[in-house]
Structure 1
Amino acid sequence: MNVQALKKSAVALCFLSSLSLGVAQAADTGGYATTTGGDSYTSTTVTTLAELKAAIANGSHHIIVKGTIYGGSSLTTLTFATTDWNNTTIEGASGGNAALENIQLKFDGEQLSTGTNIENIKISNLSFYGNISDLQNLPTQIYGTDDNVGINYEGVSLRRITNAYITHCNFFDTSDDLMSVTLSSDDVTISYNHFYFTDDWANMSPDPLWNWVGSYTDLAGERLAMVIGANYSDSYVATGYLHVTVHHNWFGPNMRGRPLYRGWVHQYSNLFDNHPALTGTVTAEDGNEYTQKQYEADQIVSGGVLYSESNYFYYTNNTNTISEDSSGYDYKFYEKNNTYSNTTGTSSTGDSFSSFPGDYSYTVTSASNVPSVVEASAGPQ
């Protein structure tokens, strides 16, 4: 039986009794991922969308992006859907100026045979963002129709991926979540990234109405950071997968909500920065005014486990929110040494814990030092 199958069978036996399931990992990422992706392959440097597509068509496993590559007004999704893409790195050139505008990287093993995932993916040193004018000019977006490219548009999407390392990236102004880890992905580390929305996004005019999940929502209000686990059937408890480490990331400003956690998540030394908290309104295309205030920071959902330590929450609203899916799955929330500064609304308190039960080494930045450390180090370098 492989490691994935062992995890899945073990969860039914030990989740509620011990919650001590861990996987042996190396220390280099400070988390579950152990991969260097395709760093060892000969690199291909690209500066245009045509060159990027050609590098992918030629099977390059180490792609270096130089400058800003624009994906076009109708958005571009680059999909990696077979195990041919095992051991792949896509990174920005040194200097911190590489960007993918209107381009989503979608690593998607959804159609692979049961028990097979795409493995060893590294994304680093890149900015991912959407062009606001292009998004405003799309036809009304409705999930389940041909007009849905914006609804499915993120920076990076990991679907049935094992061993992925997402580090030193910027994610901002995309119309769905900024990134996601779903469909039984596993052993993922997300570190030293900056997730945020610009003032131009939060106050966009016109503010289109799109239909994401059966009801219409204004685009300016869709400011969501990250989802780990797509639904209750894609949770840690249901599958035994979704082991994710989230550390030294900067969430905010202008974040309306999330991360949303249905996985087994270790979250340490992150900065949640909602200052200045948005309290104004914008007027959407239907003439209604929509509040811009953050509705949550962390969202812990049925089927998920969160160990949260040494994070700094600054001006966040409804900081730790518990949301129970209709599945009835249990959740677990543990925390220690977090700092809550000028927070508002209501917040759940996690159970205390002494040490994280994952089997990897990591170095915590004390919560008091998190703002200075994370602001100086998150994002492309």
Structure 2
Amino acid sequence: MSGRIPRFAATALPLVLAGTVLGVTPNASAAPVQTFAITDLVGWATQNGGTTGGGSAGTTTVTSASALTSALGSSSAAVIRVSGTINCSGMLRVRSNKTIIGNAGAAIVGCGFNINGDRNVIIRNLSFRNWNDDAINVQESATNIWVDHNSFSNGNDGAVDIKRGSDFITVSWNRVFNHDKSMLLGHSDSNASQDTGHLRVTYHHNWFDASTQRHPRVRFGNPVHVYNNYYYNNSGYGVASTEGAGVLVEANSFENVEDPFHLGEGSSDEGSLVARNNLLVNSGSGQTGGSVRAIPYAYTADAPANVKSIVTANAGAGRISV
């Protein structure tokens, strides 16, 4: 499956978005039809049976923190539409078999989503701002997660943190800006027993827009695939491979990034990192070493010279038809 610009055509899983509405007046307009092609998913989230989220389950539109909390925490499969700005705090638990997708302009302000041991979750087209913990936290062996076309800014800790044995995850077409710690993969040097053999994640076509560090910072996962991302003015570093991780950094575009990728970070020992066909514009040369396991899925990388224009035109919330 190509890693090129997603085409959201009526080819698979059409979702007619006019289901249950929570927190909306009875006369509110029904949400429009979203044609959602699951075939646009690329990377690790296609493995282990694939990732379909709520699939063809009924749709719920939410406009309040209480309605969102209830919908996310349901044990039933669901497609959850977020409308408007939802102000909240803490971490909201997301249970298995959910598609969470924002209507145009939808924002989650002040809180984040916690996927704790659950599986098969899709999060798309949301702007996360001012979260007080993580914006999206994936932990405790959660599997088959797709985080796609979201925007992250001005948060307290990680934008997308993945840890504690979680696996089979794709993070694609997101934008991180006005933020420090972007994407942590593996939370602790002492967690090898749970993390080794897991933490397999694909990061592609993300826009790290003057965010500082952790794009991603990786422990233990092998292979982790970082391709076709656009790095711009990152004052800390781009990618770090530590604690025996294996990271393939491929066909990315780095612009004004003094430290695009390196081995080890802080007190963490070195991992392995293979860099292939990256574009380095006014950037350092990076540090590589060791070998990385083979990538098991099909993909087509865009030419690194085209990554900047492709990613800046398409990454982040509000760039897909809803």
The residue number in structure 2 matching 1:143 is: none
- The answer to whether the 8 A contact 2:69-2:93 is kept is no
Say whether 1:342 aligns with 2:282: yes
- Residue 347 of structure 1 deviates from its aligned partner by 2.7
- Residue 295 of structure 1 deviates from its aligned partner by 2.2
- The answer to whether the 8 A contact 1:236-1:304 is kept is no
The residue number in structure 2 matching 1:297 is: 238
- The answer to whether the 8 A contact 1:251-1:272 is kept is yes
- Residue 324 of structure 1 deviates from its aligned partner by 5.9
Q: Which amino acid counterpart does residue 96 of structure 2 have in structure 1? A: N
- Change beyond 3 A, Cα 1:352–1:228: closer
The residue number in structure 1 matching 2:4 is: none
Residues 318-359 of structure 1 deviation map (CA, whole Å, 9 limit, x = unaligned)? 22122167686x621111100111115x73135699xx7222
- Change beyond 3 A, Cα 1:243–1:67: same
* SS at 1:232 equivalent: coil
Q: Matches of 1:315 and 1:174 in 2, distance apart?
A: 23
Say whether 1:320 aligns with 2:277: no
* SS at 2:309 equivalent: helix
Which stretch shows the higher mean deviation, 239-248 or 229-238? 229-238
- The answer to whether the 8 A contact 1:45-1:66 is kept is yes
TM-score (norm 1): 0.66
- Change beyond 3 A, Cα 1:163–1:296: same
Say whether 1:62 aligns with 2:79: yes
Q: Matches of 1:349 and 1:58 in 2, distance apart?
A: 45
The residue number in structure 2 matching 1:245 is: 202
Please identify runs of 4+ aligned residues in structure 1 that moved more than 3 A.
56-60, 233-238, 324-328, 349-353
Q: Which amino acid counterpart does residue 47 of structure 1 have in structure 2? A: T
5+ residue gaps, structure 1: 1-25, 110-117, 132-149, 199-222, 278-293
Q: Matches of 1:332 and 1:256 in 2, distance apart?
A: 18
Residues 286-336 of structure 1 deviation map (CA, whole Å, 9 limit, x = unaligned)? xxxxxxxx12111111221101110001101222122167686x6211111
Q: How does 1:1-381 map to 2 (within 5 A)?
A: 28-33=40-45, 34-56=50-72, 58-59=74-75, 61-71=78-88, 75-80=89-94, 85-93=95-103, 95=104, 97-109=105-117, 118-130=118-130, 150=132, 153-159=133-139, 160-197=141-178, 223-234=180-191, 239-262=196-219, 263-264=221-222, 265-274=224-233, 294-323=235-264, 331-344=271-284, 347-350=286-289, 357-380=294-317, 381=320
Q: Higher relative contact order at CA 8 Å, sep ≥6: structure 1 or structure 2?
A: 1
TM-score (norm 2): 0.78
Q: Matches of 2:91 and 2:177 in 1, distance apart?
A: 21
Q: How many residues align?
A: 273
- The answer to whether the 8 A contact 1:267-1:306 is kept is yes
Q: Matches of 1:31 and 1:271 in 2, distance apart?
A: 18
- Change beyond 3 A, Cα 1:336–1:173: same
- Residue 50 of structure 1 deviates from its aligned partner by 2.4
- Name the structure where helix makes up a greater proportion of residues: 1
Residues 199-228 of structure 1 deviation map (CA, whole Å, 9 limit, x = unaligned)? xxxxxxxxxxxxxxxxxxxxxxxx111100
- The answer to whether the 8 A contact 2:203-2:226 is kept is yes
- The answer to whether the 8 A contact 2:213-2:236 is kept is yes
Q: Matches of 1:245 and 1:352 in 2, distance apart?
A: 17
